[in-house]
Chain A
């Protein structure tokens, strides 16, 4: 079991460019969560899928951010027209039926 896999580990984009972050949850886990971590805001909930269906996206910025889970083996977080304030570590976690969360290593996004 490789755990939750996030790619890329680091991404550098220019202001205004698009960034797509990938997450492969642990096989058999039904829930996928996305979080963002910054020094100032800490760990912020973004969105949550259960059995591939979006359940709660209340933490997602309303503009420019979107998340999908097209199949049970991966989820994507897309940020359009990236801004410097989007710079953060984006963390994906999966769990079996809303129990223990298992986190990936994160994607460090730097917007120049």
Chain B
């Protein structure tokens, strides 16, 4: 079935630094979303992309549908960026939106 492989599973960053998260898809996906799940468990929308790149503040996301992957770049990490980040993608063949396994990000002072 449709699968979303997300990496890394966990990441620690010091404040002010940055890194990238990645999701690989096993089938053609028509769109990808990125979410942050905060300490209260709420899933907060970060990006929705059908293609290309979007940027919002210190976050930037790219979706390459031909090569079946998406990335989320975080720069100048802040303590409030800590949480679990999920990508989710909708298959071109089904109606499901399938989630990756998440990246637990800890930002350290």
Contact residues of A with B, CB < 8 Å?
Answer: 33, 35, 42-43, 45, 48, 50, 55-56, 58-59, 89, 91, 93, 98-103, 105-106
Contacts and interface: CB of A to CB of B under 8 A. Distances in A.
Interface string B74-103: 000000000000101010001111110110
Main secondary structure of the interface of A (DSSP, over half): strand
Contacts of B102: 42-43
Interface residues of B, number: 20
Across the A-B interface, the 9 shortest Cβ-Cβ residue pairs: A43-B99, A103-B43, A100-B48, A56-B95, A45-B96, A42-B101, A55-B95, A48-B95, A105-B42
Output the residue of A93, A98, A100, A101 with the most chain B CB within 10 A.
A101
Main secondary structure of the interface of B (DSSP, over half): strand
A101 B97 contact: yes
B48 A99 contact: yes
Given A100-B33, A103-B43, A43 B95 contact: no
7 contacts: A42-B101, A45-B99, A98-B95, A103-B42, A103-B43, A105-B40, A106-B41
